[in-house]
Amino acid sequence: MTTSQTISATAAGPEAAASTAQFLTPVVLGLQALAVNGKQAHWNVRGSNFIAIHELLDTLVANAQGFADLAAERIVALGLPIDARVSVVAEKAAPTKVPAGFAQWQTEIRAVIDDMDAVIADVQAAIDGLDETDLTSQDVAIAIKAGLEKDRWFLFAHLAE
């Protein structure tokens, strides 16, 4: 008979679990906000690059949701809960410049990039903070940063001359 062991805050060390939650929770909340704001931009983008930006924003939203899930599941795997209800995300998210209605593609891209930069800053803080406490969680943050920077590059390329 085999038994399975569940990772818990005590198995990984309570300090590692607490550190992971401290640094990855803002990442989860920022990514959830990015997904919502990215979808808002996706629905309301206008202009000559409409289809390319519309589809790119869908990819960004899917990636943000996947990254949020990855970070949240790391926290939960260490035995701690995550609270990413809409009210919590709204309370903790940085103000967005994504317009409430229709906007030209350049405006939408700049606004989404601003939102991405705020999340990337939180991810970098997680990378730096987790260096001493939980290298596995740091690897999660590094992977998220690489993905966000790729998506940012794809968006920014539309603005570059």
Ramachandran assignment for 13, one of left (phi > 0), alpha (psi -120 to 50 degrees), beta (any other): left
Cβ atoms within 10 Å of 112's Cβ, excluding its own: 28
Measured CA to CA, the distance from residue 75 to residue 87 in angstroms comes to 20
98 contacts: CB under 8 Å, gap ≥ 6: 37, 38, 40, 41, 108, 111, 112, 115
**How far is it between the farthest Cα atoms of the chain?**
64
pLDDT in tens, the chain (161 residues): 555 444 444 456 888 899 999 999 999 999 999 999 999 999 999 999 999 999 999 999 999 999 999 999 999 999 999 999 999 999 988 899 999 999 999 999 999 999 999 999 999 999 999 999 999 999 999 999 999 999 999 999 999 87
DSSP SS3 for 59: helix
Q: What is the pLDDT of residue 8?
A: 47
Domains with residue ranges and CATH for the chain? 9-156 (1.20.1260.10)
104 DSSP β-pair partners: 46
Measured CA to CA, the distance from residue 130 to residue 93 in angstroms comes to 21
Measured CA to CA, the distance from residue 62 to residue 56 in angstroms comes to 10
This prediction has a pTM of 0.91
